[in-house]
Amino acid sequence: MVWMAKNNHKEILICIVGSFLLWVYFNLYKENIKIIERTKVFRAGHGNIAKVQERPNVENKTDIPNIYIVTATYSRLAQKADLTRLSYTLRLVPNIHWIVVEDADNKTELVRNFLFNSKLQFIHLNKRTPNVKNRWEIRGISQRNEAVRWIRQFAQTPGVVYFADDDNTYDIRIFEEMRYTKNVSVWPVGLVAGLRYEAPKVSNKKVVGWHTSFPRKFSTDMAGFAVNLQLLKNITSVEFRASAPPGHHETDFIQQLGVELSDLEPLAANCTKVLVWHTRTQKPNVNNESKVHQDKNYTSDPIEV
């Protein structure tokens, strides 16, 4: 009897240990699958590589449209800080594809590393702004057109396209509203055109004009409209044109889509709320850099800002 009891204890112990090992193996297997998914890469034209990563804070949903968010960016001291702030906002929004286009001949390590660590689904592209006399006035045009080219070629799931500058401030509610855009939706933008806000005027749920200090047919900032993906795919000639006068690139783009004022879809409580601000980051003051460089044993250059 004693011998049988001892053997029963051994069998129970073996079962417990075996169950524990199976549990460990199963969880390690699941984690391995996650790692594989996180490190998937795919090539998307011109050798551009995008890395698809998990988004642990937001579950992607199959029952809502996607948002293709286009961000043109260029090298500057505040670049990483601006991208970081925007990325934390986007991590709160489900079903987004962040298309980041650098104004550069080649993709930089700073932006590449930042995106790989952002925990967002992203596409990393680059396109240099032509070196012309009015280069500053047309900055962002080549980059947005490169993103539109990629979207037309590779975007498959239904959704909308939004051009989000990296130095703006966004209330996440605007993303939830814009994703249901049928053609072109519009809303107010704060701190732009020398005003507290620039906004569509709405009557009976129709846009009838604009509250602006700089009249155009569609007096909207880049951050103030979204376009249905299929509309952008159907009209393949639409692009941002460097020939448009300064400040008219948005209205010129929307006019090419063939919509009229009454066709616009007013969001943000019939354009009575500001959910986007054209804040712009103040240029950093680094005048004291020369002082630290006087010490030959120390330099701040190797540190990524």
pLDDT of residue 23: 66
pLDDT of residue 93: 97
Quick check: 60 pLDDT over 80? no
Q: How large a percentage of the chain has pLDDT more than 90?
A: 69
pLDDT of residue 35: 37
| CA atoms 132, 134, 140, 145: torsion sign | negative
Q: What's the CA gap between 66 and 122, in Å, rounded?
A: 13
Q: Which domains does the chain have, with CATH numbers?
A: 38-184+221-260 (3.90.550.10)
Quick check: 27 pLDDT over 70? no
Quick check: 46 pLDDT over 50? no
The pTM of this model reads: 0.80
CB 111 within 8 A of CB 100: yes
SS3 state of residue 106: coil
Q: Nearest 5°: CA angle at 171, between 198 and 193?
A: 20
The residue among 202 and 21 whose pLDDT is bigger is 202
Query: Which runs of E-coded beta strand occur in 74-157?
Result: 96-102, 122-126
pLDDT of residue 30: 46
The residue among 6 and 44 whose pLDDT is bigger is 6
Q: pLDDT-based confidence at 62, cuts 50/70/90?
A: confident
Quick check: 49 pLDDT over 50? no
User: What are 170-210's pLDDT values in tens digits?
Assistant: 999 999 999 999 999 999 999 999 999 999 999 999 999 99
Q: What's the CA gap between 18 and 20, in Å, rounded?
A: 5
Q: How far is CA 125 from CA 113, 140, 162, in A?
A: 14, 13, 16
User: What are 262-292's pLDDT values in tens digits?
Assistant: 999 999 999 999 999 999 888 888 887 777 6
- Catalytic residue chosen out of the listed positions 239, 250, 265, 304: 250
CB 35 within 8 A of CB 29: no
Q: What's the CA gap between 189 and 196, in Å, rounded?
A: 9
Q: pLDDT-based confidence at 301, cuts 50/70/90?
A: low
CB 73 within 8 A of CB 111: yes
Clarify whether 37 is annotated catalytic.
no
Average pLDDT of span 24-40: 47
The strand pairing partners of 43, in sequence order, are 49
